[in-house]
Amino acid sequence: MVSLGQLFTIDIAPAEHLVRVAIVGYWYDATPASFAAELERSVVQVGCGSQLFYLIDCRESSVQSAAVINQFLEISNQIAKRAQRVALVVSSTLLKL
C-alpha cells in the first residue's frame, strides 16, 4: 500500500486485478500530479496492464478547488482508457450538490 501523507492511499491486489484508491482531505494544486505519478508507478510495478479494475473511494475527501477537480478529471480519463472497469464511491450528500 502506498500513502502520501494522509491525502491518498493506493492498494493493489494483483490476484484480483483490483486497484483500491482512497482520497482523503483537501488536496493542494500539486497533489493530483503526485497522485498520478504514484498511481502509474504502482500499476507498472504490478504489471497487470489494462486488466485492472479500479475502486476509487472519495467519501473522506473534502470539497476541492476547481483546479484540483480539473486535474483529477484528466487523471480519471487516463484511468478509464486503460481499465476494465472504474467505480467511484462518493458521499450521497456530496453527490446531490
- Tens of pLDDT, residue by residue over 14-63, are 889 999 999 999 999 999 999 999 999 988 888 766 788 999 999 999 88
Classify 40 as helix, strand or coil.
Answer: helix
| Dist CA 48 CA 18 (whole Å) | 9
Q: Is the pLDDT of residue 89 over 80?
A: yes
What's the pLDDT at 33?
Answer: 95
Residue ranges of domains in the chain: 49-60+77-89
**Band of the pLDDT at 66, cuts 50, 70, 90?**
very high
Q: Is the pLDDT of residue 2 over 70?
A: no
